[in-house]
Amino acid sequence: MGRAYQLLFDHVLTRSDPEWAHHAAFRAIRAGRPVTARLPRVTGTPVSAMGLDFPHALGLAAGFDKNAVGIDALGALGFGHVEIGTVTGEPQPGNPPKRLFRLPADRAVVNRMGFNNDGAEVVAARLADRRRRRDRDVVTAGSHHGPSSFLAGPVLGVNIGKTKAVPEESAVADYEKSTRLLAPYADYLVVNVSSPNTPGLRDLQATELLEPLLAAVRAEADRHTASRVPLLVKIAPDLSDDDVLAVADLAVALGLDGIIATNTTISRDGLRSDPAEVAEIGAGGLSGRPLTARATEVMRALRGRVGPEMTLIGVGGITTPDDARERLAAGADLLQAYTAFIYEGPLWPRTIVGGLG
């Protein structure tokens, strides 16, 4: 299947609109779940982090399943955790098309999607329905003498961000709304202040703004959940080294459960793609292979600052088992990817997990 996917990608998908191709591929993944869910489960070295048990280190980063419509189908492909979102307090269409672009020469993607999603209320209702179905299926499976592997789902992360139309002075209330609605369904919760595609969002990474935001989200999550939901923050690779360390210090001071490093970059340095093509694409966050070195540097700096206890999730430019091992060696407890999944196809999670041993 790997070779067949590469031929499909190189000769068909690269000739189609990237956003259309994403939706078509995701529909196929969801439609194929009755088959993929009955394949042998992807097994790797279990990871205990944030009080949660992960079947292995590899998960799917936020951005692929923005609206919580294919969590279990993605888990069936081999992802041990799936992070949905980014979800905003209010529904929004995102930026106008075209807003997603491939750079095949760099095995990279540029996006300026702009947090297009159905909004926290709709996503929360979808997660509530998923929980009801899973509870019902577990009871049904139990009456037939044992649960099926079809029921085993991934650890669920929920990534929340700011609604574009909400002014910056109201950002905390916007995040609180998403937290109130979504935290009850999350295995862990992520505050995203690092996408380059929402005006003013990255300003919230400044510690004087980030501290009250994270404290408010923590308090709101605790008010609306029966047990403590782990809270993480996702940061950009474009922060200076000093700012990375400042966020690390803040995370320790606030008692956060973890940091996700890193989001997409606004840098275009060192690309192999034609500069004219890159210039024509314009603004947006770059993901994929070009992020590997910087994301690893940030991970190493974070681990050196926060010590051994805090959970760190490495994301950005992880394509091969060697990349995955290097990120773990730099200090990551868990890994996430997205762009390599697009380029390498549905068997890619199994390749990475198998390569980790």
- Region 255-269: mean pLDDT is 97
User: What φ, ψ does residue 336 adopt, rounded to 5°?
Assistant: -135, 155
Task: Report the candidate in 45, 59, 107, 83 with the shortest Cα–Cα distance to residue 356.
Answer: 45
- The span from the CA of 331 to the CA of 329, in Å, is 5
94 annotated to bind ligand? no
- Split into its structural domains, the chain has a count of 1
338 annotated to bind ligand? yes
Q: Is 282 left (phi over 0), alpha (psi -120 to 50) or beta?
A: left
- The span from the CA of 260 to the CA of 95, in Å, is 25
What is the rounded end-to-end Cα distance, in angstroms, of the chain? 21
Residue type, 139: V
Whole-number pLDDT of residue 5: 67
- Region 8-14: mean pLDDT is 67
DSSP string, 120-168: HHHHHHHHHHHHHHHHHHHHHHHHTSS--GGG---EEEEEEE--TTS-G
Q: Which of 63-67, 142-146, 165-169, 193-197 has the lowest mean pLDDT?
A: 142-146
- Assign residue 41 the CATH number of its domain: 3.20.20.70
**pLDDT above 90: percentage of residues in the chain:** 83
- The span from the CA of 51 to the CA of 49, in Å, is 5
For residue 177, what are its two tokens? 């709304």
146 pLDDT band, cuts 50/70/90, is very low
15 pLDDT band, cuts 50/70/90, is confident
2 annotated to bind ligand? no
Q: Which of 133-137, 235-239, 312-316 has the lowest mean pLDDT?
A: 133-137
- The span from the CA of 352 to the CA of 120, in Å, is 32
The tens digit of pLDDT for each residue in 95-136 reads 999 999 999 999 999 999 999 999 999 999 999 999 999 888
Whole-number pLDDT of residue 231: 98
159 annotated to bind ligand? yes
Task: Report the candidate in 74, 84, 91 with the shortest Cα–Cα distance to residue 30.
Answer: 74
- The span from the CA of 326 to the CA of 343, in Å, is 20
Q: Is the pLDDT of residue 137 over 70?
A: yes
Contacts of 172 (CB under 8 A, 6+ apart): 212, 213, 216
Q: Is the pLDDT of residue 75 over 70?
A: yes
- Region 317-333: mean pLDDT is 98
Q: Is the pLDDT of residue 152 over 80?
A: no
Range of the domain at 247: 2-356
192 annotated to bind ligand? yes
- The span from the CA of 71 to the CA of 225, in Å, is 21
Task: Report the candidate in 40, 35, 38, 79 with the shortest Cα–Cα distance to residue 57.
Answer: 79
Contacts of 244 (CB under 8 A, 6+ apart): 235, 261, 298, 301, 302, 305
Residue 58's SS3 state is strand
Catalytic residues: 195
